[in-house]
């Protein structure tokens, strides 16, 4: 998987020491898992775009102490998925990657309406799936019926 190795090399140069973990056995469905700070999100996304990766999906996660955004990048080669995790406080504003990846326009809209995380410079943050006048964020663990509301370290250690 040469493309993935290339991108990870560049990421290692840009990010702190232990930000990139490899997963040889593809156990979690990703070849590499990267923990990036919020400020480096756009640079990392540009790296992936130049290397020919596409943005598969953006997932939002709601923890007690922080919110998390998980970006999955993939390219058209076997077993080359890379997960990039970005921690973002509940009241923080995340930078947008919609000028790098066009699919992020809708993906960020969805994360915004379900979690309330705002994306700076995304020109269109209208609700995507919820009614236009919705003022609630359903997937927050403070909304509706919730089974568990945990801190991030309880799951990822």
Partner 1 sequence: MAEKFQEPVVDQIYTLNLGPQHPSTHGVLRVLLDLDGEFIVKADPVIGYGHRGHEKMGENRTYKQFMPNSSRMDYLSGMIYNHGYVLAVEKMAGIQVPERAQHIRVICSELNRISSHLLWFGTYVMDLGGFTPFLYAFDDRERILDILDRVSGSRLTYSYCRFGGVSRDVDVEFIEMTRAFVKRLRSRWSDYHNLVTKNIIFIHRTRDVGVITKEQASQYGVSGPNLRACGIGYDVRKAEPYENYDQFDFEIPIGEKGDALDRYKVRLEEMEQSCRIIEQALDKLPKGPVMAEKVPANVKPPKGDLYFAFESARGLTGYYLVSDGATTPYRLHIRVPSFGNLHVLVEVLKGTLMADAISILGSVDVVIPEIDR
Partner 2 sequence: METCERTIEPVEPVIKFAVLEDILNLARANSLWPMTFGLACCAIEMMAAGASRFDLDRFGAGVFRPSPRQSDLMIVAGTISKKMGPAIKMLWDQMPNPKWCVAMGNCAISGGPFEYEGQYAIVAGADEIVPVDIYIPGCPPRPEALIQGFLALQDKITKGEDRNILRRFRRKGGQS
Question: Which residues contribute to the site for partner 2 (CB under 8 A)?
Answer: 130-131, 136, 138, 143-145
Residue 38 contact partner, candidates partner 1, partner 2, none, CB within 5 to 8 A by sort of partner? none
Which of 13, 25 has the CB closer to partner 1? Answer: 25
Which of 141, 152 has the CB closer to partner 2? Answer: 141
Using only C-alpha atoms, the chain has a radius of gyration, in whole angstroms, of 16
Whole-number Å distance between alpha carbons of 153 and 157: 4
Which of 54, 143 has the CB closer to partner 2? Answer: 143
Nearest distance in Å: CB 24, partner 1? 14
Residue 8 contact partner, candidates partner 1, partner 2, none, CB within 5 to 8 A by sort of partner? none
Length of the chain: 157
Sign, Cα dihedral of 155, 90, 15, 79: positive
Nearest distance in Å: CB 58, partner 2? 21
Stretch 36-55 residues interacting with partner 1 (CB under 8 A): 52, 54-55
Contacts of residue 35, Cβ cutoff 8 Å, sequence gap at least 6: 15, 19, 84, 85, 86, 87
| 82 close to 31: Cβ distance less than 8 angstroms | yes
Give every strand in the sheet of 67-74, ordered side by side. Answer: 20-22, 32-36, 82-88, 67-74, 54-62
Whole-number Å distance between alpha carbons of 151 and 42: 26
Q: How many residues bind partner 1 (CB under 8 A)?
A: 45
25 binds partner 1 (CB under 8 A): no
Q: What are the tokens at 31?
A: 């070849």
| Chain contacts with partner 1 (rule: CB under 8 A) | 26-30, 52, 54-57, 59, 61, 70, 72, 74, 76-79, 81, 83, 101-103, 105-107, 114, 127-131, 138-139, 144-148, 150, 154-157
């Amino acid at each position: 998987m040469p493309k993935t190795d290339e991108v990870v090399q560049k990421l290692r140069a840009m990010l702190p020491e232990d930000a990139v973990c490899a997963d040889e056995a593809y156990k979690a469905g990703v070849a590499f898992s990267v923990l990036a700070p919020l400020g480096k999100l756009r640079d990392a996304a540009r790296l992936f775009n130049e290397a020919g990766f596409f943005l598969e999906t953006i997932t939002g996660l709601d923890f007690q102490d922080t919110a998390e955004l998980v970006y999955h990048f993939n390219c058209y080669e076997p077993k080359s998925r890379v997960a990039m995790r970005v921690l973002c406080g509940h009241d923080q504003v995340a930078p947008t990657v919609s000028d790098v990846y066009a699919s992020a326009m809708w993906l960020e809209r969805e994360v915004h309406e379900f979690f309330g995380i705002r994306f700076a410079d995304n020109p269109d943050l209208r609700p995507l799936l919820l009614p236009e006048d919705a003022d609630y964020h359903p997937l927050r663990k403070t909304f509706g019926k919730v089974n568990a509301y945990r801190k991030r370290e309880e799951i990822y250690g």
